[in-house]
Amino acid sequence: MGTIEDDFPEKDARAEHPSDAQSAPVRPRQALPPKGSCWYCEKPLDSVKRFCGKPCADAFDEEAEYTR
């Protein structure tokens, strides 16, 4: 009883939870060039920024997922 989970290989479980967040997959937004304004809400920004804040960046990524 209750020993079914023992059949799961422990290595695979760990691979799904990488401890290093920097090795996360590249987001769609990271392929964009900075254009001087927010890609999501068009708010004027520094020429090196793509988004005015994380909420906009996250929202943009979400839309990119849906339009894939």
The contact set with Zn ion (CB under 5 A) reads 38, 40-41, 43, 52, 56
> How far apart are CB 59 and Zn ion at their closest, in Å?
8
- Contact status, residue 40 vs residue 57, Cβ threshold 8 Å: yes
**Token couple for 46:** 């520094």
CA distance 28 to 40: 13
> How far apart are CB 24 and Zn ion at their closest, in Å?
22
> How far apart are CB 22 and Zn ion at their closest, in Å?
24
CA distance 12 to 67: 30
Question: Of 25 and 44, which has the nearer Cβ to Zn ion?
Answer: 44
